[in-house]
Amino acid sequence: MSLPPFERFYEQHREEIFGFLVRRLGRDRAEDAFQETFLRALRAYPKLRHGEHLRAWAYTIASRIAIDEHRRPRADADLPELESLDGRPAFAQLEHLADQLPPTERTAVVLRYGYDLDYSDIGAALGSNATAARQAASAGIRRLRQKELR
């Protein structure tokens, strides 16, 4: 599938991405995060090679921004960090690890374990449902484990 004009991508995904950000951040902070999500998508858009998995891509960007937004006011508060031991955020490690997985499993694994999304949001990102998202995430994890054993 070829890459649609950005207007189409934006029209198709703006409402659900905004809904997702409102659930994660609350209405007020969701507005800034929304703008940042689609500006970031716009910057990266010409580098995409095809028009597949655009919804999952949009959710991944929105998730990353939601995490950044979450961190900001927490900087001086005594709250748990998402950083792992070597200092890299969990999603950065996972995205790299999950690179070899098929796209659906990769998205499910990254959104579940990298961004801590629940399965209904991941289902939305994949254009399916919570059950399918759970299956894709487990399949991805199984595949990663097998790779590790080899």
Note whether 73 binds another protein by CB under 8 A.
no
CA 46 to each of CA 39, 81, 122: distance values in angstroms, whole numbers, following the listed order: 13, 33, 25
66, 17 contact by CB (below 8 A)? no
Q: Using CB under 8 A, which residues numbered 4 to 23 contact another protein?
A: 4-8, 10, 14-15, 18-19, 22-23
Note whether 28 binds another protein by CB under 8 A.
no
Note whether 118 binds another protein by CB under 8 A.
no
Q: Using CB under 8 A, which residues numbered 30 to 49 contact another protein?
A: 31, 34-35, 38-39, 42-43, 45-46
Comparing CB distances to another protein, the nearer of 27 and 150 is 27
90, 84 contact by CB (below 8 A)? yes
Note whether 26 binds another protein by CB under 8 A.
no
Q: Please report how close the Cβ of residue 61 comes to another protein at its closest, in angstroms.
A: 14
Comparing CB distances to another protein, the nearer of 13 and 106 is 13
Note whether 52 binds another protein by CB under 8 A.
no
Residue 37 token pair: 């999500």
Nearest alpha carbon to residue 68 among 25, 109, 31: 25
Task: Find the farthest-apart pair of alpha carbons in the chain and give their distance in angstroms, rounded.
Answer: 48
Residue 50 token pair: 């095809």
